[in-house]
Amino acid sequence: MGAVRRDPVLQPVTLRDPAVQAELAALTPDLLIVAAYGLILPPAVLAIPRLGCVNVHASLLPRWRGAAPIQRALLAGDAESGVCIMRMEAGLDTGPVFARAVCPITAGMTGGELHDRLATLGAETLRNALPDLLAGRLTPEPQDPAQATYAAKLDKAEAELDWSRSALELERQVLAFNPWPVAQTRLDQQTLRIWRAQAEPESSNAPPGAVLSESGDGIRVATGSGLLRLTEVQLPGGRPLSTAAFLNAHRLIGRPVGRGMNVRAVAARTLAQVLGEGRSLALALPSALDQVNPRDRGLLQELCYGVCRWQPQLQALLDQLLERPLDRRETVVQTLLLIGLYQLRQLRIAEHAAVAETVTAARQLRKAWAASLSNAVLRSFLRRRAELLTRIENDPVARSAHPRWLLSRLQQDWPDDVETMMSANNARPPFTLRVHSSLIHRDEYRSQLAMLGKRAEPVTAVATALILAEAAEPAALPGFAEGWVSVQDAAAQLAAPLLDLQPGMRVLDACAAPGGKTGHILESAINLHVTALDCDAGRLERVRETLARLRLKAHPVIGDARQPAAWWDEIPYDRILVDAPCSATGVIRRHPDIKLLRRETDIAALAADQQAILRALWPLLRPGGRLLYATCSVLRQENQQVVAAFLAVQPDAQEIPIQAEWGCALPHGRQILPGAAGMDGFYYAVLVKRPTVGAPPCPPVRG
């Protein structure tokens, strides 16, 4: 519209760009009006208009501050919504309100319908308020922060219906997510999208998800409380149909919806890929999560991660309980028995339920013979528990749940810390966030979490880190989609500060995937020219996705760090981050399958690769530039020994000692041990390329 009328039209990628801010300021606006922008404006932009900035917000503030106020109002069953004309501040929809208008939420109203009504109402309210606002006749009304609620950005995963919930809750979910992302459920192996539905109060003894009747006026499905009558549905490849039209070609009676496989059976198959095929849990688990009910996904992850974490101990128990070893081809039965023992050993699941469900899983896996074996093994454990646990206390591998080679390495490298490290490795990891401090202060973000009932504590040694008391779905966190925070361990957040980044620098992030450190680098200084290098195209795509969410830009390059001639443009870098491929022995608590997949013979090969990467990338660093060598390993062969060997053959390389309160100083570099100050195990060493003769020495690095 503006282009047609020949009005000035700006379409900046980001309002954080000083050049864009200068262009806006040159227009000398009286007032800036924001609608559906989705981001907090930088303070520099808020200060440009003479009368400030106002936002047309689709809720009755302070209720439903945030990205999805329309859908959150419908999900909560609110009787009314509305629009507010609000003065914008640095906080999330916290400014005082100039004008408001109410819109009733009528029965059966969808998210799309409410959106359209509020769009019209918002334009009318703004038009009516503008004359008084421009004349200074409106006094804004402050919001009461005690009444504030947060409207988190929508996530596609929320659209999956959990039939154990009440019919009323499910109806609200269907209406709120029409037209996006559209409520859905599983029908056999397909996705059934549900566009419209209505709750009915009738009770039923049928299990949730059972289809009770189908007729022209709807398909009735049992829920945790009441029935849900589906009136408009859609199968993949088709279009939305009334149930009358849908039933002309399909029948649902006898086909339960939303019911996945037995969670223990799915866990057994997933773990069989890890134990039998050497596949990482990170690759095996995502497809498994789609096979179970949404309410069972947490248990599936707990079983898979827990068995990997304690496998050496569980296997020692199983070896004592079996009369003879299982056939090596029966990996799925072995993993199912380990799952049964893990439930009885570590979880608070009722013993009879753990045994019964494991037996049921054996039958669903079409291993009828294993059903009786599972029952016998698990009941034998319950009878002999004290005796069996006493025996494994005398076996260091079983007691520590660490493979013998790793146990020996830890004892060799860290004799005074080995018990603490093993305990940390067997613990569940904390849920740590990195706050983008140029968008929101850590204390302010912590307050936003507190408003949602989420407790978080800062990490003293890391200015950007917050540890949540309980894990959360990242997409549901305030501002996650807008790039305010990222999920990243506190130790990994030390990399960007150690690089000592300055505006305009050329930076190489070697081995960049999945992009967490790349994002932090770009958050740390303006106008950086960052090359994000990775040898795997699929992993590099994860870097692109990470940066897209953060609204940051880098130059992604597919290439081998050991062979820069194939990808380097021959312009030296000011900073290089070598986050080297390593044994990952410092992050076992996050990836417990490392204990099962890593072999002692891997370490020497990894150290050789680390040396090769350092030697290959060093010529790319300008004189006076800085290279940060990092690993998530705790093994000295991959850390200080690699740095020592490199310094011995590279005369223009100089180490800068890291002076910090975190970790412990080594002859070369600084090591964080797993669990120290809530952090993962990490190693850092800072190297600089000696400048021209006569230049002053580099100062120590302060952490």
**Annotated active-site positions, please?**
632
d(CA 301, CA 295): 11
Of 275, 270, 284, 363, which Cα lies nearest the Cα of 315? 275
Q: Report the predicted TM-score, pTM, of the whole model to 2 decimal places.
A: 0.73
Residue 141 — very low, low, confident or very high, per pLDDT cuts 50/70/90? Answer: very high
CB proximity list for 633: less than 8 A, separation 6 or greater: 582, 583, 584, 585, 586, 639, 681, 683
Q: Is the pLDDT of residue 499 over 70?
A: yes
DSSP-assigned beta bridge partners for residue 34: 55
d(CA 541, CA 580): 19
The fraction of the chain above a pLDDT of 70, given in percent, is: 97
d(CA 466, CA 479): 15
The fraction of the chain above a pLDDT of 90, given in percent, is: 80
Q: Is the pLDDT of residue 702 over 70?
A: no
Of 81, 93, 32, 86, which Cα lies nearest the Cα of 56? 86
Residue 579 — very low, low, confident or very high, per pLDDT cuts 50/70/90? Answer: very high
The pair phi, psi for residue 339, each rounded to 5°, is -60, -45
CB proximity list for 449: less than 8 A, separation 6 or greater: 455, 456, 466, 468, 477, 478
Of 578, 634, 645, 563, which Cα lies nearest the Cα of 603? 634
d(CA 48, CA 28): 7
- Give the residue, 85 or 160, on which the prediction is more confident: 85
DSSP-assigned beta bridge partners for residue 197: 230
Contact 455, 12 (CB under 8 A): no
Q: Other C-beta atoms within 10 Å of 531: how many?
A: 23
Q: Is the pLDDT of residue 696 over 70?
A: no
Count how many Cα atoms sit within 13 Å of the Cα of residue 688 in the half-sphere of its side chain: 19
Exposure b/e, 290-322, CB count within 10 A at least 16 = b: ebbbbbbbebbbbbbbbbbbbbbbbbbbbeebe
d(CA 636, CA 582): 11
Locate 97 and state its tokens.
Answer: 């309100």
Identify the helix (H) or strand (E) that includes residue 529.
Answer: strand 529-534
Write the pLDDT tens digit of every residue in 587-631: 999 999 999 999 999 999 999 999 999 999 999 999 999 999 999
- Rounded to a whole number, what is the distance in angstroms from the first to the last CA of the chain? 52
Tell me, what's the pLDDT at 83? 98
